[in-house]
Amino acid sequence: MKIATRNLTISYGGAPVVGDLTLDIPEGEFTMIIGPNGCGKSTLVKALGRVLKPDSGTVELDGRDLWSYRGREAARKVALLPQNPVAPEGITVSGLVRRGRYPHHTLLRQWSRDDEGAIAAALERTGLSELADAQAGQLSGGQRQRAWIAMVLAQQTGLLLLDEPTTFLDISHQYELLELCRDLHDEGRTIVAVLHDLNQAARFATHLIVMNGGTVVAQGPPSRIVTTELVRDVFGLACDVLPDPRTATPMVVPHAGRVATAP
């Protein structure tokens, strides 16, 4: 499943947040989108997830304008987990995950064994089978985020879009969630995630997209594109980039203070 943008421009009524962007998301990769605040990362993912309609240009899914699909048809192909989703009060974990099956239903096709199997598989994959009847609102932050991941897994799409999935999680739960995403990618899913932490992105992503000012300034494997020059030019941060002692992936070690130009 291939998703791409062609001359994509999106604004919120003022200057474009994403401007004239043409981008191919690599199929079968764990892509992370990084960049400074306000650079258009989340706006891009919302456009890929059919939440924001472009001012001009297109998002193409398998060569076809994403907005030419019917809503349920698109949701059977692309699943989006937005920032800070809110569960209805009193809903159970299994009830939340069941919502991932709605795109597969029509007037003639309602609940089936396929739905129940998909829900059970999603709960098992995220380690939540024993919490299926628990109230979603009573889960820990890490468990709650895994429940949302289970919901999008139940959609059974080829593409998962995650908008800042580690927000508000403590560090151990951040790594737990990213390891789950890496496992899901290893099983064959294409995953696109917005992330703020450069070292986490470099450790887990197979492909990085670096944005600044509403456009892409670099993309490729972390080992190739994460450099001191890139971090300085995009984030205004003087640093060293060293091999992570555990994974050998690029690790950003900041100097004291921020710089706008090379020292």
* Structure-block tokens of residue 30: 């764990």
| 93 shares its domain with 195 | no
| 63 shares its domain with 190 | yes
Q: How far apart are CA 245 and CA 251, in angstroms?
A: 9
| 73 shares its domain with 163 | yes
| 66 shares its domain with 116 | no
* Structure-block tokens of residue 64: 């076809």
Express each pLDDT in 41-86 by its tens digit.
999 999 999 999 999 999 999 999 999 999 999 999 999 999 989 8
| 2 shares its domain with 55 | yes
Classified as helix, coil or strand, 220 is strand
- For the chain, give the percent of residues with pLDDT over 70: 96
| 17 shares its domain with 133 | no
Q: How far apart are CA 27 and CA 39, in angstroms?
A: 24
Q: What is the CATH number of the domain that holds 59?
A: 3.40.50.300
| 1 shares its domain with 72 | yes
Work out the number of other CB atoms within 10 angstroms of the CB of residue 90: 9
Residue 142 resides in a domain? yes
| 116 shares its domain with 147 | yes
Residue 253 resides in a domain? no
pLDDT category, 261, cuts 50, 70, 90?
low
Classified as helix, coil or strand, 249 is coil
Express each pLDDT in 78-113 by its tens digit.
999 999 898 899 999 999 999 999 999 876 667 788
- Domains of the chain: total: 2
Residue 207 resides in a domain? yes
| 111 shares its domain with 125 | yes
Express each pLDDT in 154-174 by its tens digit.
999 999 999 999 988 999 999
Express each pLDDT in 186-206 by its tens digit.
999 999 999 999 999 999 999
Classified as helix, coil or strand, 196 is coil
| 178 shares its domain with 225 | yes
Average pLDDT, the chain: 94
State pTM to two decimals: 0.93
| 133 shares its domain with 8 | no
* Structure-block tokens of residue 56: 């001009």
Report the pLDDT averaged over residues 108-119.
84
The closest of 154, 153, 160 to 111, measured between CA atoms, is 154
Phi and psi torsions of 94, nearest 5°: -65, -35
| 133 shares its domain with 193 | no
| Residue type present at position 80 | L
For residue 127, what are the domain limits? 78-156
* Structure-block tokens of residue 116: 């129940």
CA distances from 247 to 88, 178, 194, 242, 251 (A): 40, 15, 21, 11, 10
| Residue type present at position 257 | G
